[in-house]
Structure 1
């Protein structure tokens, strides 16, 4: 008789958890990009900096990063709990 072959693809649950961890690891890099982006902007009027708009932009980006981290956090904690259970059993 033939031995059953291992599945070709990962289980959906573990695949999604890995992608969630990847997204969480990419979040600081994405945040750094968006924080440094205003340095490339030119002022609307030469000689006058657009400090107020850049400040508002930075706070909006900061709030967006906090919101994304808030959305990702529950899935990451669930993944850590399941990983801890698997280590205890194995």
Structure 2
């Protein structure tokens, strides 16, 4: 038997399909990636150049190229995930016999 409690107030919980939820999170990650890259590229400007904590320019250049490589790899991963999700979405729509939204 189920107990009938008082009715819930407020908004009902929102149910999102797992695929659409994941697709939106990947799209959000793709939108945030340039801003993360910009913040990582600005970090060498914060490095101290006076005193014994001086940073060599070669270290800064290696850091910048390392960040650049990571951004390219991250963009490639996100692009592959988005393409795979798009393929799955179109295959699912074709299986239902409908048109893509």
RMSD value, Cα:
2.6
- What is the TM-score normalised by the length of structure 2? 0.67
Name whichever structure is richer in helix by fraction. Answer: 1
Number of residues of Structure 1 aligned to a counterpart in Structure 2: 82
Match of 1:12 in 2: 18
Q: 2:26 touches 2:81 (CA, 8 Å); kept in 1?
A: yes
Note the residue ranges of structure 2 that are not aligned, 5 or more in a row.
Answer: 1-12
Q: For the pair shown, which has the larger CA radius of gyration, 1 or 2?
A: 2
Larger RCO: 1 or 2 (CA < 8 Å, sep 6+): 1
Contiguous gaps of at least 5 residues in structure 1: 1-6
Runs of 4+ in 1 over 6 A off after TM superposition: none
* Aligned with 1:51 (options 46, 57, 61): 57
